[in-house]
Structure 1
Amino acid sequence: MTGPTPAGLALALDDAARAARPIPPLTDAAPLGLAEAYGVQRLATERRCARGESVVGVKMGFTSRAKMAQMGVDDLILGRLTDAMAVEDGGTLDTGGLIHPRIEPEIAFLLGSPLSGRVSPYEAARAVSAVAVAYEVLDSRYQDFRFTLPDVIADNASAAAFGVGPWHDPVDVANLGLVLEIDGRTAETGSSAAVLGHPLRALAAAARLAGTAGTGLEAGWIVLAGAATTAVPLPRRAHVKVASARLGRVEVTTR
């Protein structure tokens, strides 16, 4: 790669997130390969950890076949979750520090044992200690939500915040209905089957991609399996609920 250094790109993204000020896509200025993009993501996360944050899991992106086709890719992407991104169930999220936030309903896995490398969905399931309904807040740090695949990987797969409902003993999550409500009105409905046909396939992919991103999945980590619906704009001063008949609900209020 020529042009700016990986450390410089990580600094630019970190500064953009902290100031809630969008920047042009990195690839506008220089080519960026996928391995290099994951390197930038790692360096940006290390900057967060140097400020006192801790990595608590990962999130999966592009888990919809339609989204893959839209982006012209044939694989998922992975981003890192830190404790500072977590919002307590029923808590408040300040969207004033975000650029153009969007929210989507998800299934979350809690790992009871480490997971890494190429594993089958069945093997991935054996590492799961609990499951829950969840949401993820996305917030690209790029102007006009415009980016290439390496850009979004470098930008931590657009991860901004997340919330998880009550944990349940592992159940079959192959086809769970999920409803996203904003201020009591249904914004999106979908099924966990939208996540690669089964969220456990996303968990298996997370183990594989973690190696690409320079990490393994650790016991105690949370894995957000991917969106069950299209992400929708997240307004300020709103009450949001994601519900599943089998896994209960998770709620958040924005300000």
Structure 2
Amino acid sequence: MKLLLLSNSSAPGREYLDHAREVIADHLTGVSELLFVPYALADHDGYTAKVAAFMDGLGIRVRGIHTADDPRAAAGEAQAVFIGGGNSFRLLKSLQERGLTEAIAHRVTEGGAPYMGSSAGTNMACPTLRTTNDMPIVQPASFDSLGLVPFQINPHYLDPDPASAHMGETREERLAQFLEENDVPVLGLREGTWLRRTGGTLELGGIAAGARLFTAGAEAVEYAPGADLSHLLTLPARFDHRTV
């Protein structure tokens, strides 16, 4: 299985996806056409055009799955799949309504198509949606997503700021609450970081400060870019659903 899971698609002072250009080019080596899934945003055509403009620089054509007469068939034939960021609740609901969670997962796991996700698209690679940062603007049929990795990811992870006047929960506190109800590790990906899976190997990459791994009953563990996180792939494929 080939996965590239980005925490974010835009970085300060950089064009869309430019901060990860080299790793994206390497991940998509040999791909001439990319199937893009734009359902996390309302403007599907505009979003697809934005992705196409970036991929054109890599010599890769982009097809928006929303233009296909049969989206499931398009997923089943895709050379590679990219699910972009936006609202993850809207994204998952759209995938479920079109039968694409199973179709995309099968194409990636059994068909060998490289998968790329950013932000909400990275959430989709997890067993469930439950560690997203997004507002539930719509209600999906369930929180179950693609399950391409057996652990949870929190994209755009922010460290607690002692100087902040904000009185709501920090991201760390919210993930601690998640772990009170769910027995599965959560990897907090800071801005500018990504995960790359090739077969049974999982590596943390990026241009920033790395990631934090949260596990129930233990202190969070820091990982720097370049860290081998392959041990996270040995977890059961689905975790214990203590709540619905």
Instruction: Mark yes or no: TM-score above 0.5.
Output: no
- Compare the two structures and name the one with the higher strand fraction: 1
**Scaled by the length of structure 1, what TM-score is found?**
0.31
More RCO (CA 8 Å, sep 6+): 1
**Scaled by the length of structure 2, what TM-score is found?**
0.32
